Structure formats: C-alpha cells, structure tokens
Amino acid sequence: MNKEQAKERIEELRKQVEYHAKRYYDDDKPEISDFEYDMLMVELRNLEKEFPEFKSKNSLTQKVGGHVKEGFQKVTHEVPLQSLQDVFSIEDVKDYIEKTEQKAKENDIEEVTYVVETKIDGLSAALEYKNGEFVRGATRGNGLVGEDVTENLKTVKTIPKKLKEAIDITVRGEVFIGKDNFEKMNQEREENEEELFANARNAAAGSLRQLDSKITEKRPLDIYIFNVQKIEGKEFNSHYEELEYLNEQGFNVNPIRIYCKNMEEIEKAIYQIGEERENLSFGIDGAVVKVDNLKFREILGTTAKTPRWAVAYKYPPEKKETKLKEIICQVGRTGVITPMAILEPVKVAGSTISKTTLHNEDFIKEKELKIGDIVVIQKAGDVIPEIVEVKKDKRTGEETEFEMPKTCPVCGAPAVREEGEAAIRCTGIECPAKLFRNLVHFVSREAMNIDGLGENIIQQLLDKGLIANIADIYTLELEEIASLKKNGKKFAGNLVDSINKSKENDLYRLITALGIRHVGTKASKLLARKYKNIDNLIKADLEDLSMINDIGPVVANSIVEFFSQEQTKDLIQKLKEAGVNTEAKKEDNVDNRFEGKTFVLTGSLENYTRGEAANLIEKFGGKTSSSVSKKTDYVIAGEEAGSKLTKAQNLGVAILSEAQFQEMLS
C-alpha cells in the first residue's frame, strides 16, 4: 500500500469507527458486533503505526469514544477514566509482559506480579464518597468529562450508600445487567412490541443514561467495582490489596480476580476465565491483565488514552456450523408471528443451541436462508444465538424455500404485514396466543375500565379455565371469582359490580377496548360520534371511513379488515348477548367551542394531567397533537415547558397559560 492509498484508507476507517463509536457509546444502539468494531480499530491502529505522518490526536485510537449526553450535568474526573489497550492473541499478551518486565529491570524492580480479572461488558462509572457517604456518580464520557448520573446510580441496589469507614474515596466500576435479567427484559420488550436491546451492555448503558431516574429504577442494573481512582488518608502497595479493602467496605467487587506471578500463570488464568465465561451470571468480553504493584504503575504511566500498566485480552466470538432442519412460526402475545429456526443441536460458547429466532421475513430473505442449509451459528454478546452465515457452497439441491404463513398458525385468522413494517401479525381478536394481552387491554382504564381485573387475576382466570375469550368476562359467577382469593367474597362482589357497570359504557370505550390496530381513544370517539352504533360501524366501507377527519387510509383499511373477520363478528354477537352497550350515548348540550382548533400540550399542568386536558379539548370539539406546526392554533404551556414552547414562539403560535386555558373552558 502506497502513501496515497494509506491516507485514503485511514480517513475511511476513521469515519467508520467514529460512526460506530457514536452508535455504541452515545446512542447505545450498535449496528455491528464488538469484534467487527475491534477489527476496524486494529486496522486503523496498524496503519497509523506504519504511516505515522497521518497520525491525528482526533483519531479514536488516541482518545476515548464517548460524549456527554445532552440533559446531564458535566462532571470533570479528577483522575481520568481511561480505556484499555486491546489485544487479540496470547502472543500479544506475552509481548506486553516481556516489555513490562524489561521496564521493571531498568528500574531495579526485582519482581512483577499481576492480577487477571474479567472484563465486564457494561458501562464504566466513577463513584465518589465523602466521609463514607455516596455523594456523586458519573459515567466515563470521553474519559476526562462524564455525565452526572448520581440519582440513577442511587437506584442500583448493590451500590452502598454508606461505607464502613468515614473515608474520602473515588472508585471505578462497571454497571451491567446480568444475563438472566437481560433475557427477561428482551422477552418483555418483544411481547410489548418494543425494539429489542442489541446486547446487555447497551441495555445497561441506555438504562443508566436515562434522564428520568424512575425509568432507571425499573431496570435490573448491577455493578462490580474494579479500581480505586483516588483515596485520602490511606496507602496501598498492591492492586489486589486495594480490592480486598474495597470488599471490606461493602463494595460489590469484581468477583473474579486471579493473582499471577508470571506469564505461565497469566495464560492459565485467561484460559480459565474463557472456559468459565459461559457459566458466569454476567457478560464479559475479555480478561484484563493488570500490574499489581502500584508504585511500578506510576513508573509505567499512561498514554493519552490508555494506561501502560494494563492490557485487555479480547476473546474471539466462537462460531459453529450446523444444519437448519426446519423453520416454525410462533405467535407472540401481541400477535407478531416470528419465524424460529430448528437446528441440529450444536455446542457454542458452552451452551447447546438447538433453535434460534430468525426475527422476521426480511431477515430470512437477506440471509437467503433455505430449509436444509448448513449455517454458521454465533452467540451475540455471549447471550443470544444467531445465524451469521449460510454455507451456500455446501448446498445439495435438496434445500427448500420458506414462505411466511398467510394465516395465523394458531387460530387461522389472516396474517398481515403492513406497509413500512417488518412484522407479520395475526389479526384475530379471539386468537388464543393473543388472548392474555387482548384481555388486559379490554379491561384497561382507557377501554372498558373494569376495576379489579388486573393482569394477575386475568392470568388466574385463564389458568383455571374460567374464561376462554373476552366475552366470558361477562359470564363469570361470584363464586368463581371468590375462589381466586382467600376470603375473596368482598373482592368478588366488587369485581362483579365493576363488570356489570362496564356494560353501560359509551360506545367509544367498547371500540377502544376491541384493540383495532391504529385505533386509539381519540379515533374511537370520532367513530362513535359518526356511526352511533356498532352495527353501522361494521357496515362502513373504506371510502366512507377515509372521509372522516384524522382517519387516514391506513386506519380505515385496518378498521374494515378487523370487522370483516368471523372472529370479530362472533365476539360482537357474544358481547351483545351479554348485555354490553353497543350504542353511542347522546351528548347533552353539545358545545363545540373548540371545533376546528388544534392544541398542543407541553410541560406539566397544576390542575390537570395531560390526558384530562386532552379529554376536555376533545369534549368541546377540538383536537390535540403531539407536535407543533404552522397548523397548530394553541400551545398550552405548563411548568418546565421545553422545545415545543420554543418552536411555538418561533412560529408565532398562540401560547396559553393554564389559567388562560381554564378561562376558555369556563
């Protein structure tokens, strides 16, 4: 490679690593694996070494990749939180040890010992204590300046709020989410049709960097402490001694720390951690080799980005070949139909893999997968098995194409894929796979509002076979409900009253409760107002529905498709027989003072929730929007109104205080 080619490649690599570093560190949404990113960095580092004239202090080989997220206070680290130099072979570790021990000889240091630890796959943070009290916590950021995430860190149960000794100390640790908790989180997100976390590291980082600590509190964050950054009034000779002290103070110290006297023991420790990594409750992406002698560390010093007294050995991702025997489809609680690969069992990274998700139709087409293919399996982030490659050269001609089903494999209802979406969904409202979620939605506050019928009670009713569809709610007997709880007669009486009361609900609540795709409370009110009863709505055609303000062609098509199904007609008939109201209630003294006006709510109001304010606006014929535009008539600005208020001011949109809004109402 000549100089011109090298310069071009270096510039190209810098753009790539900067883009992927932003996706990883700042957005917590990586697009490539850690290994692929590491290989880009290795190539860049090698080229900069070979062509030093193209080195730049702005290259990510010379600095830490993170930035401070907007919305957080900045924290300047007294002791920089540096990253580690990565190596990818035992030979590289040996080379590092030889150079380190040569440096020891030059400084008359007779013996060098080491500590080998797990490199935890999480987000680095510094915890600061004054007189033994936890006072501040910050992310690494760019190594020099991080984000103040004190309130979020206070929600992490394994961070001690008070130490055993009243000392001033700053420690460094890795915030992470354990493997089991990560799998549970992704399972819940899949059921709720939320985007899955790419890996446990990004789940932890995204959770810690939430602007609302209440969200962080709900996430199962943990931490392992692995270093003393600064301490007042105490001195230690070795890193291992520091870790033992931190443990005594109540810190959750990295549990795997192996004391080593030479390269032979280091190599053994690296292989030992590699063998055990699959059985660990937390994810790791390497083993860290650290010089134990703290005074020798001072002599070795640091570069702008990394300490010279440590190196990180990165384990290569393990890949295995196996056969794709079959593709089956599973239906989730939200109706999403997910293809699942059934594999000939193969052991990867310590686990036997016999199946893995194929995500969606696009994934299968992108990989050009066929049933009978020989495929390459890899465990992503050491947790989720995935197909990374198809060995097309090993095809025999007996492989078969796979097509996603046109009907739900559970209930037989049409399976549809809407424009712009990757998922294919079951549309049947009585589908057993969707029944739990459909029931939870049907009884919810914004729908039929059946108080007392929570998720736990619904699950018990299903488990005992007391309900098999939505309409069965209205056939429940007092004794059946009472049997769910010890001394449950009072509870049963209240629930029966609530069920009976829901029969009198206005039509818009029933429409909302049916869970028609894209139809929320606002659209349900429009439909109830126009069609007056459920039978008229069932007969409405695409053209008629599309004429309604705020009901576009996508929503109209969804409504027509929903009411054309036998399952829907069957349910409506059962609800009518149970005595559920299917007529719109007459509106007394209709007041459309806000007709044709669009409102946007921003900030927090003193006397109303946003939902209550929106209901009042709609009651008087107006509508609400989530974004400000030239078409917005009013912005109601509460306390701590943000960017929407600024945009309204720039566009010249009328801005109302809460008091002015109340005047308009009165």
Amino acid letter at 602? T
* Rounded CA separation 617/325 (Å): 57
- Under a CB-based contact definition with an 8 Å cutoff, are residues 311 and 85 in contact? yes
Structure tokens at 606: 């003193």
370 is catalytic: no
* Rounded CA separation 629/246 (Å): 55
Q: Which of 255, 259, 254 shows the shortest CA–CA distance to 226?
A: 254
Task: Determine if residue 323 is left, alpha or beta; phi over 0 gives left, psi from -120 to 50 gives alpha, anything else beta.
Answer: beta
- Under a CB-based contact definition with an 8 Å cutoff, are residues 247 and 205 in contact? no
- Under a CB-based contact definition with an 8 Å cutoff, are residues 356 and 341 in contact? yes
Phi, psi for residue 514 in degrees, rounded to 5: -65, -20
What are the C-alpha distances in Å from 21 to residues 34, 41, 59, 121? Answer: 10, 10, 12, 15
Q: How far is CA 319 from the centre of its chain?
A: 26
- Under a CB-based contact definition with an 8 Å cutoff, are residues 285 and 121 in contact? yes
Max CA separation in the chain (angstroms): 95
Pairing status of strand 310-313 against strand 86-87: parallel
**Which position has the token pair 């304010």?**
613
What are the C-alpha distances in Å from 500 to residues 478, 493, 552? Answer: 12, 11, 35
Cβ–Cβ contacts within 10 Å for residue 1, how many? 11
* Rounded CA separation 89/316 (Å): 9
Structure tokens at 440: 């939870």
- Under a CB-based contact definition with an 8 Å cutoff, are residues 600 and 632 in contact? yes
- Under a CB-based contact definition with an 8 Å cutoff, are residues 655 and 649 in contact? yes
Tallying the residues shown for the chain, one arrives at: 666
Phi, psi for residue 507 in degrees, rounded to 5: -55, -40
Structure tokens at 503: 């029969």
**Which position has the token pair 């409370």?**
521
Catalytic site residue from 15, 55, 119, 585: 119
Alpha helices by DSSP H, listed for 107-147, are: none
Amino acid letter at 432? P
Residues annotated catalytic, as ranges: 119
